[in-house]
Structure 1
């Protein structure tokens, strides 16, 4: 735990290689700006849901320091996810030169307490020592306090229900 009180929710979560690769590819495509997107699940991560797929979105802020999913895109995805009886499992964005830890701005703009905030860092010193891949970390943000939720790698390339990113690279 980083700050605040304990949060109910998962002790750890798993992300398939397919979802991890889609998140990292989107972050690299959007560099030097922050990338963003959503992980769709069968239920929210905070309720023990399972991650199904990653949806890359545009970053309306087009900034290396901030992300903003366009409201129309967020609405479209909200309707599609609701119609499919699914949930926002995680809110994803990248940090281009800093660790995969929520900033004060990230914490202040965390409006989905049942979802995890999944951050990927493109910073060299944040790479996985075994693979060299950018670091991915997940955080539960509730009422301004944060709690890290360890992310485990799912061994299979395509976990049941998992699909490649259905979004598109949002490079402008």
Structure 2
């Protein structure tokens, strides 16, 4: 299992994975509109603070994850996604563990943060199990199809090398 750099040759697969409007919003919030397009991905990933990765299992693409530089030693984990055929096997936790190590080793990160929708219990429990702490809950700041989705902000302090 490994993280590899996400490149333009991978855009079609990501577009195929994000198969409906609700999944798009759950995965990306307001960052992308559905349907996902090459232009949207290009514009987003061309930002200098965005570092997108694919998660590979036995050489096959199984997921997507992104680091976003907030400050020199603070990165946010964004757009965490495991493809349907790989769900239910604990791979999200492994992909998250890999991105935590990458953040420490490659980017000298000391603080990792993320946001997850409160009703995404599986993801939230994964992050808690990896040592992330809830630091805030934003109520009413995100709306999908006239329903308010609460956003839970979490963070993890990274000390020393993994």
* Range class of TM-score, shorter chain: 0.3 to 0.5
TM-score (norm 2): 0.33
Write 1 or 2 for the structure with the bigger share of helix. Answer: 2
Structure whose residues are more often strand by fraction: 2
Greater RCO structure (CA 8 Å; 6+ sep): 1
TM-score scaled by length of structure 1: 0.31
